Structures are given as structure tokens and as C-alpha cells.
Amino acid sequence: MAHTDHRTMRSVLRREIAGTIGLLADEHDFRAMRRYRTFTFDDHPTYLRQVEDVLKNRAAYGGHTTLALFDPEDYAAYCAETGLDPDLPASRTRFTAELATTGPTVPYDGGPLAALVPTLVDAAVRRATWEYATTLLTRLGPCPTCGEDIGRAAFTRASDLVVRILDTAPPGDRHLVCTVMGAPETLVSVLHGDEDTHGATRLDETEALEFTGVLALGLATRSPGGLVLRTSAPGTADRVHGWRLRAGTLEPLTAAEVFDAYCTDAESGDLIAPEPGVDYCAPPDLGDLGEGSAAPHHH
């Protein structure tokens, strides 16, 4: 009887353990891990099937599991820093536990693993973009004339602009895309805002922070780029507005310019047929925030 009780208690406890699995999302990362003797998987498709079986099994017993992206290069660097042997399963477990607290994760929802992998990769790309943008913002330092922190001032202004854009947008779900052109690479950030039953816009806090950081970098470095807002509401055509990022401020695009931007292939320059059921419009007035009066300092 006592044996059964212990077994029952153990299974109850197992259900209450939240776990994280570090996933090797692509073939390249999988091959990099094959160099470790204790990593015993032979091929990536089999590995993914095994991971999915473990996830389903844990879910069937009521366990909660999150997925993190396991990067072999980051793992090797982590082992070098901490003095761990990278060819020990315990080291991989330690690194995965670290990922659970520091890296982007997605909860396993019982669906196919193939559907979750793009979400996880997207979260990792967004995190990397955010870290890159904030690093560059921090490096800008203080304004030589007034001593104000350029990066912080740009972030405050970008936050104001995002709020103003959302406040003046027509009702509906919002989809914003910000592109900042610059060396060594172009940054793209996306922000979704769903309208609730009371007409308020719900934003993902992390996504909003990342989006604001990219816009702030464009403002602070006076880089070329653009911001596009698409609003969708039931029973009406989608509305698309746009702004050009130029000389540290947002300039509204005319309806014709938005149409041209949407109906031109970015790679080839060829014309694309306009999307049916979409209105290309000039944006609402953002007031003073949209003007150069609040532009960051020249530096």
C-alpha cells in the first residue's frame, strides 16, 4: 500500500515540474552537436520526432513544457565561460535551464512541433534584433551640446510616436512594420495590436518594447527607413498608412506613395497588382510628435 502511495505521490510531483527543452531547430545546428560523443542522435528528422513524442507524453500527464532555441555556438561559449565539459548531458541541461530564464521561449500547446518551430525562430530573431538595437542605442552616449543621453531620448520619443500612431488609427486590429536601413544590416520589427470588445488595443509588452527600440534607433541615427500601419476591421476594407523615416523624424506618405510602396516589388522594382479590399490612405495627423520640433539632437 505504501509503495502505491509513494508511486502516486511521485507521479503527482512529476506533473508539477515545469520543464524546458532546448531545441535544435535546423539541420545545421543539429550537425554542429553531432561532434559531441554523448549526443547520440543520428539524423535531424528522427530527433524532431523523438522531441515531439516527449512533449506529447509530458502533456498527456499534465506536464507543462516550454521550448527554447538551442544554439550550439552559444552553448560552446557558455561551457568555456563556466568551465563545464560540453560533452556531458548535465552541461546541456545546465545551459537549457539558463535559456529558460534568459532566452526567448514558447510554451508547448499540444499541437505539431513543426508549427511551433517558426514561432520559436521568430521569437529568437526578434530578441536578437532588440539586443542589437539597444546595444547601438547605448553606444551613442550623451549629446555633445546638452549632455542628454541620445539613445534614451530617442526611445522616449519613439514610445510617444507609437502611442500617437495607435491612438489616431482607425478602429480595428493593427499591424505595424518598422524598417530601418543602415550598416551593417537592415532591421525590421513588427508589432501586432488586437482590438478588444471595449475598443482598446492589446499589445504584447515584449513585442512593443522591441518595436520601439528599432524605431528609436532609426530616429537617433537619422537612418532612412519607413513605418507602415495596416488596420483591419470586420465589414470594411483594410486601411494602409505609411510614414518615411528621414533625418530623425517621421514624414507622412501620401496615399499615392503608400500605393506605390505596396505595389512595387522591393527586389526587382516590378509592379505588383494592388491587393483587393485594401484602401491606401494618407495617415492621420500625429500632431507635434510627427514634426521635426521633437527631433533628436544633431550630432
Q: Where are the alpha helices (DSSP H) in 61-88?
A: 72-82
> What is residue 143's predicted lDDT score, i.e. its pLDDT?
82
pLDDT at 48 over 50: yes
Phi, psi of 265 (to 5 degrees): -70, 125
> What is residue 15's predicted lDDT score, i.e. its pLDDT?
59
Which amino acid type is present at position 25? A
- Give the pLDDT band of residue 295 (cuts 50, 70, 90): very low
Euclidean distance between CA atoms 13 and 25, whole angstroms:
30
Q: What is the pTM of this model?
A: 0.71
Which residue do the cell numbers 509530458 mark? 58
pLDDT at 267 over 70: no
Q: How big is the CA angle at 93 (ends 58 and 55), to the nearest 5 degrees?
A: 20
Q: Which among 102-111, 125-134, 210-219 has the top mean pLDDT? A: 210-219
Euclidean distance between CA atoms 92 and 32, whole angstroms:
14
Which three three-digit cell numbers place residue 223? 537612418
Q: Where are the beta strands (DSSP E) in the chain?
A: 19-23, 65-69, 105-107, 173-180, 187-195, 201-203, 225-232, 238-246, 249-252, 278-280
- Give the pLDDT band of residue 128 (cuts 50, 70, 90): confident
Which residue do the cell numbers 532546448 mark? 22
> What is residue 292's predicted lDDT score, i.e. its pLDDT?
41
Q: What is the mean pLDDT of residues 30-56?
A: 91
Q: What is the mean pLDDT of residues 202-229?
A: 90
Euclidean distance between CA atoms 89 and 70, whole angstroms:
14
In 3D space, the residue among 135, 132, 152, 133 whose CA is nearest the CA of residue 297 turns out to be: 152
Range in 187-191, 199-203, 211-215, 240-244 with the lowest mean pLDDT: 199-203
